[in-house]
Each structure stands twice: as structure tokens, then as C-alpha cells.
Amino acid sequence: MREFTEQELVRREKVEEIRKVCNPYPERYDVNYTLKEAATLKDGTKDVRVAGRIVFMRKMGKLSFLRLRDIEGDLQISIKIDLVGEVKYQFFKSMIDIGDFLGAEGEIFTTQTGEKTLRCNDFIFLGKALKPLPEKFHGVTDQEICYRNRYLDLIMNEDTRKRFLMKYEFMKEMRRFLEDNGYIEIETPVLSNKASGASARPFTAHHNALDMDVYLRIAPETYLKRAIVGGFTKVFEFARCFRNEGIDATHLQDFTMVEGYAAYYNYKDNMIFLENMLKTVIQKVFGCLEITINDQKIDLSKEWKSISFRDLIIKYADIDIQEFNTKETLLDEIRRKNISFETEDDIESLGFGNLVDALYKKVARPHLIEPTFLIKHPIELSPLARANDLNKNLTDRFQLVINGAEIINAYSELVDPKDQEQRLLHQAELKANGDTEAMMMDYDYINAMEYGMPPISGWGMGIDRVLQVLTGVDNIKDNILFPLMRPEEK
């Protein structure tokens, strides 16, 4: 049996009283301005119809004020008994609560305190809130409540509303930039019978109609490259991806990634293109190219520097991965230097490439604050990337790191099907030996490659991650509208 607070019981009783006068949950209301638009209208503009949630009220004898809110803005409404009539005014005073929805019609004016206001000559009740909103002076500050009840966070906290509107603008401007540069947006499968596109542990499910196990998409990469085989020259996708891995302040298991692929590009072309894209989009959305994180200013307008994987690890761990170039010798050197990992129990099962990656993430990545292109990755770490022509142990790849967070992963794609088959066979062997992040063999993708691929360079960017960096929030969940949470025990 559900229990209700005294306020909730009173509101439920009001619903029954409202039914005697009007429908407490009407079908529609004819709005001609948003609240944000109405707040910019000239004084004297008549027949303005707006609607929103009541977030503040001051009820008085013959003149009352309230504030309506939606995701983009607020607007003050004045309700005077002489304009709406005594019956309706008394209905307003006795039946309407903070949290309810209201439609209001009237004329715009500016109060003596300088606030744009709608002088209401009629209003329509649009919905009763059966639960009261949090107390306005404290709002919603508990972080877990913000994640679990994002709707309350959005209603009460302006910073949250701005952050998610900014996310929408960021994605819109990025899509526009890509389209303006000849990229075509396509869709790829979320469910597949091979977990491919990245080195990560997949989520599994069962497809009842086909009676087979399937994997949730790790990344859209191999399908976007199939599109290149089919004749697309430049493609991209905003893709929801799923990786059944650890969770922390910068990682979630389901996230939004945008990936793009261009025929006839190499990774250096993409370094230039993506630096230009990010600078253009950030300037449009944020209005500047200087961001502040933890009181440290980062100037994105400067030329972004590059450093090799090898040089970076030498700098921060004094280990040369060219000298310690096998899993066994590298692991011995790591232990000799007393470098420990959070995944210490599983470190033995990692292949050389993933061991190098774990070392880099532990000792070097946190130091990369200014925008930095990390280049010359070991080939074992990049099973889908093209080998460098001068050094077959390295790949033509880069990662963009800002404030210790990997923003973009990109490379010149491997288009030789024989080479790709051998690398995937090696990955399959690593997986069979316990490396859960190694890739599966995917002969359907090999078959596509055997029909011929042009030179390609591709890239992937975690939208939630880049916005975490740009907005300076501590937890990536702050940029996820409805993050997955463990169920609360009742």
C-alpha cells in the first residue's frame, strides 16, 4: 500500500474538486510564444499565449504573481481579480499549487523592478502536480537524487538546464559542420552477431525470433567502413554504444559516440580536420576557446601539439616500450618499478598492446592537460589501424587528449584484407587466452574488405566525455540525461 504525505493527500483532494470545474488534465493548449520568446517581446504586445510549470507563486488579496518555467526559460505572470474575474481568481488561489501547469493569455509589460511580465486576462489549468517540488531555496543538491530523478534536477537547477541545452547545441553544430564538409549521416546496427569495432568487453543478449545470441554495439566502425565499400565517400553516425566494463567518473557502459570516415584521407588529414572542427564548434557553442577546469585555464586556440606513445611513456614511467617489446619483458619492468594497476588481478591475461595501454593510462594520461595528439601507437593496440609504412610495429593512429581525458580516437584504416584477417586471428587467440577486451574474428567484415577498399581514415569521439571536459563537471553522469542506476531497495 502506497503512503502519501499530508501535502500529497491535499493535492489529490484538489484534483477531485477541480474535476467539478474543468478537466484537471486537458488535451491541449494553443501556445503562440515560448516563455523565452515572450520575455523578449515589446511592452504592449497583446494576445500572448504561453504555458509552463509554476515554480513560484505569491498569492495576495486581489493581485497575485507566479512564475512559469520550461527548459529554455522563465516568465513572470501577474493575475489580477479585475481582469480574470472573481470566480476564476478564487479558483486560482484555492486550487492551484506550485508544480502545476498553467496556460496564460494577456499583454506584455515591464514591472517597476524591470522584469518582463505577462498581464494575464485569462488562464487555463493544464495539469495538477500530485507531489510538491523540493523547497525552492535548497532545490535538488543531492547528486544521487539528481541522477535518479533528473526531471527534478531540470526543474530546480538552472545549471543543469543550461548543460543539457549546451549538449544539444554541441551535437547540432557538430552535425552541421560534418554535413557542410560533405559527410552523410547513416545508421548502423545496434544488435549484431559479432562484437566488433573496438577492443572492449561486450554486452550480450538473446534474439528470440532468430533464436541466437547477439551483442550490443561496441562501436559502429566496421559497418561505417562497409558503407565506404558500398560507395559512400564520407559518412558519420551519432551512435549509442555499449561496453560492459568498469564504471568511474569518466566511464559509463552506455554512451553516445560520433564516428566519421572519409575515403582518401589519412590520419594526418583528420588531425587537421578534427582540430578545425572542434575549434569551430566550441567557439560557436561556448563563445570562446578558453576553458577553465579546476581553476586552470586551457587555451584551445593554440596549435595542438603531438607526442609519440613511446616518448610519453619514457617521460612519465622511464620505460621504453621499444626495448621492452613483449608482454613478459614489459610486465617484468612494470613490476620492477613498482607500478600497480587497479586491475592487478587480471594484468597477466592482457596482451602486449592492452598492457601498454594500461601503463599509459596509469602513469601518463593524467598529465596531458593541454590539447595533445598522442601518435605512433603499437600495432598490437590497434587491430583495425593501418601499419606505418616505415615501421610495421607502429600504426598511423592518434588520440586527442585534453585534461587527462581521451576525446578522440582516430587512425588511417587498415584496408588490406589479408593483413586484417591475420590481426583478427591474433585478437581471437588473445580472447581465447583470457583477454576479455580483445576483438572477435569477423569474416563477414573480411568478405566486405575483399571487394576492395580505398584509402580511409576514421575517428570516434565520445560526446559525453568531451562535454565533461568542456563543462568541467566531475562526473560523466552529469552530462547523461538519464544515467543507469542500481535500483533502490524499498
For residue 1, what pLDDT band results from cuts at 50, 70 and 90? confident
Each residue's pLDDT tens digit, 218-269 = 999 999 999 999 999 999 999 999 999 888 888 889 999 999 999 999 999 9
**Least-confidence region, from 35-39, 275-279, 318-322:** 318-322
What's phi and psi for 153, nearest 5 deg? Answer: -60, -45
What b/e readout covers 352-387, taking b as 16+ CB neighbours within 10 angstroms? Answer: bbbbbbbbbebbbbeebeebbbbbbbbbbbbbbbbb
| Closest CA relative to residue 171, chosen from 237, 217, 224 | 237
Among 461, 448, 398, 458, CA closest to 420 = 448
What secondary structure letter does DSSP report for 327?
H
Cα-flanking dihedrals φ and ψ of residue 458, to 5°? -135, 165
Nearest residue to 97 (alpha-carbon basis) of 63, 138, 69, 125: 125
Q: What is the mean pLDDT of the chain?
A: 92
What is the layout of strands, in order, in the sheet containing 456-462?
Answer: 184-185, 234-242, 254-263, 456-462, 405-412, 394-402, 372-378, 305-308
How far, in whole angstroms, is CA 169 from its chain's centroid? Answer: 12
Mean pLDDT, residues 117-125 taken together = 97
Which range among 133-137, 190-194, 196-200, 379-383 shows the weakest confidence by mean pLDDT?
133-137
User: Can you tell me the mean pLDDT for 431-442?
Assistant: 80
pLDDT at 340: 82
pLDDT at 84: 95
For residue range 50-95, list pLDDT tens digits in order.
Answer: 999 999 999 998 999 999 999 999 999 999 999 999 999 999 999 9
Q: Report all structural domains of the chain as residue ranges with CATH numbers, in order of start.
A: 6-133 (2.40.50.140), 156-304+370-479 (3.30.930.10)
Name the least confident of 129-133, 381-385, 427-431. Answer: 381-385
Which pLDDT value is given to residue 138? 56
* DSSP conformation class of 481: S
User: How many CB atoms within 10 Å of residue 71?
Assistant: 16
Q: How far apart are CA 156 and CA 386, in angstroms?
A: 50
